[in-house]
Chains A and B, each alone.
Chain A
Amino acid sequence: MASFPPRVNEKEIVRSRTIGELLAPAAPFDKKCGRENWTVAFAPDGSYFAWSQGHRTVKLVPWSQCLQNFLLHGTKNVTNSSSLRLPRQNSDGGQKNKPREHIIDCGDIVWSLAFGSSVPEKQSRCVNIEWHRFRFGQDQLLLATGLNNGRIKIWDVYTGKLLLNLVDHTEVVRDLTFAPDGSLILVSASRDKTLRVWDLKDDGNMMKVLRGHQNWVYSCAFSPDSSMLCSVGASKAVFLWNMDKYTMIRKLEGHHHDVVACDFSPDGALLATASYDTRVYIWDPHNGDILMEFGHLFPPPTPIFAGGANDRWVRSVSFSHDGLHVASLADDKMVRFWRIDEDYPVQVAPLSNGLCCAFSTDGSVLAAGTHDGSVYFWATPRQVPSLQHLCRMSVRRVMPTQEVQELPIPSKLLEFLSYRI
């Protein structure tokens, strides 16, 4: 069973450049389950990187220091949990602002992570409540962790302290995501078949339960303008929700197996979903059309084979910051970098037991977490985007596909703007 389309010569595909690795420390009880690294995440301002290290802990490292370490000390970096190996700090009092490493013990297996930072002008949705236990200020960075027992714990990244404990889900909280508009609205996706919407500016008040999934919910993602939420789950489910009214907009049909990851493009015009049916689909979320298919198994499996154990499950998908590249992780021990206009990968990298991946905030690095709690980093393929593409992203950030179709421009440009080329 081939990993690439027949017309592609596998040897010609460029191998990505490794940037570094963060290896999990060996622990005395490493036979027990709980070593897995199910999520990696970068802070929205690029200051921190977090991963669920296994053994119920989350490690937070200041990202720029981490990158510097990779460059200075070579690529391997075994993190020793007993020594917080901080670089020598200046004694001139700059310590208060310097980000520090933290290891957070969450008390239960960590399945999901999300960073959130608040924009003070964004009001909480509740009415007129003056007294709040937490006033989230401008320079506060939060980390939400979703646990095995359904609880969500909210931590302050700079101090490592626990701020809030959200209790409502009855099963594993498989994914968490903050609204990108800085309102500190948090959405959690759980194996209890629901998604819940929490308002952290209102002390974590749960505002809404989104029901509709018939089975486990695996992942969720906000559109960049925070108006839409995509949730994906078992039994081929891909749903789009309107986040002003909390109603379901539509179901996207096409996958043949559980859908486990989703991500919007930076202009919100594209949605990528990854499934155990060996495929990543790129959809137009405004009308539900499938625009691209990224296959990981060739010849493409028949629906029966795709719907079962086919050894080629795609575990994670992530859109790059430039809106042109997508990264996917599959069980054939490879990370693939794709361009949205080619149906075969432009770069690959070897990775065993990969479970999750995420691009850094500036898009220059891809981080992937593995089954044994380690994280690996690669340089993403960089390319100067065409001015046409930059214009397209600028237009699509504010215009859905239906409005684009009404524009008085030549049809070729219409197709380009709708990502149909």
Chain B
Amino acid sequence: MDGEKKTYGGCEGPDALYVKLILSDGHEFIVKKERALTSGTIKAMLSGPGQFAEKEADEVHFREIPSHVPSKVYALCMCFMYKVRYTNSSTEIPEFPVVPEIALELLMAANFLDC
């Protein structure tokens, strides 16, 4: 119907579709859980022994990544989109260009995130 607002699933509970990533200065990103799990680091953070049973929301804190460094945030997003997009693709794996100017920063971020 027109005028109906779209509602999204939340970050709460074990079936949460989304997960919240919190950077060191408090900025929050909400990302689809399936995409976030492509990062080995985030996967470990979400399922590690530090998980409390009564924890409501799936949150991951990145104390090292400040939001004012756009390349690192950019790297986070790239990691998620890239792997999910191409892992189960039965078609040709297309080119994924990485601009040389940011390649080094992206490498460090990708190494941290293990993706």
Contacts and interface: CB of A to CB of B under 8 A. Distances in A.
Interface of A: 362, 364, 382, 384, 386-388, 390-395, 397-398, 407, 409, 412-413, 416-417
A390 B92 contact: no
Q: Taking each of A387, A388, A392, A412, which has the highest tally of chain B beta carbons within 10 Å of its own beta carbon?
A: A387
Nearest to B82: A387
B99 interface: yes
Interface residues of B, number: 20
A395 B107 contact: yes
Interface in B54-96: 78-79, 82-83, 86-87, 92-93, 96
Given A387-B110, A388-B107, A394 B83 contact: no
B104 A387 contact: no
Given A387-B106, A388-B111, A398 B100 contact: yes
A190 B93 CA distance: 38
B78 A387 contact: yes
B16 interface: no
A386 B110 contact: yes
B106 A409 contact: no
A395 B100 contact: yes
Q: Taking each of A364, A382, A388, which has the highest tally of chain B beta carbons within 10 Å of its own beta carbon?
A: A388
Contacts of A391: 98, 103-104, 106-107, 110
Nearest to A395: B103
Contacts of A409: 104, 108
B115 A387 contact: yes
Nearest to B106: A391
A414 to B, nearest CB: 11
Contacts of A386: 110, 115
A199 B82 CA distance: 42
B65 to A, nearest CB: 16
Nearest to A382: B93
A409 B34 CA distance: 30
Majority DSSP secondary structure for residues of A touching B = helix
A391 B93 CA distance: 17
A158 B110 CA distance: 44
A413 B107 contact: yes
Nearest to A321: B95
Nearest to A404: B104
Contacts of A364: 92
21 contacts: A384-B83, A384-B86, A384-B87, A384-B93, A386-B110, A386-B115, A387-B82, A387-B83, A387-B106, A387-B110, A388-B115, A390-B96, A391-B104, A391-B107, A392-B107, A394-B100, A394-B103, A395-B107, A397-B100, A412-B111, A417-B107
A417 B110 CA distance: 13
B94 to A, nearest CB: 10
Nearest to A391: B107
A413 B92 CA distance: 30
A413 B108 contact: yes
A225 to B, nearest CB: 12
Contacts of A387: 78-79, 82-83, 106, 110, 115
B104 A395 contact: yes
Nearest to B39: A387
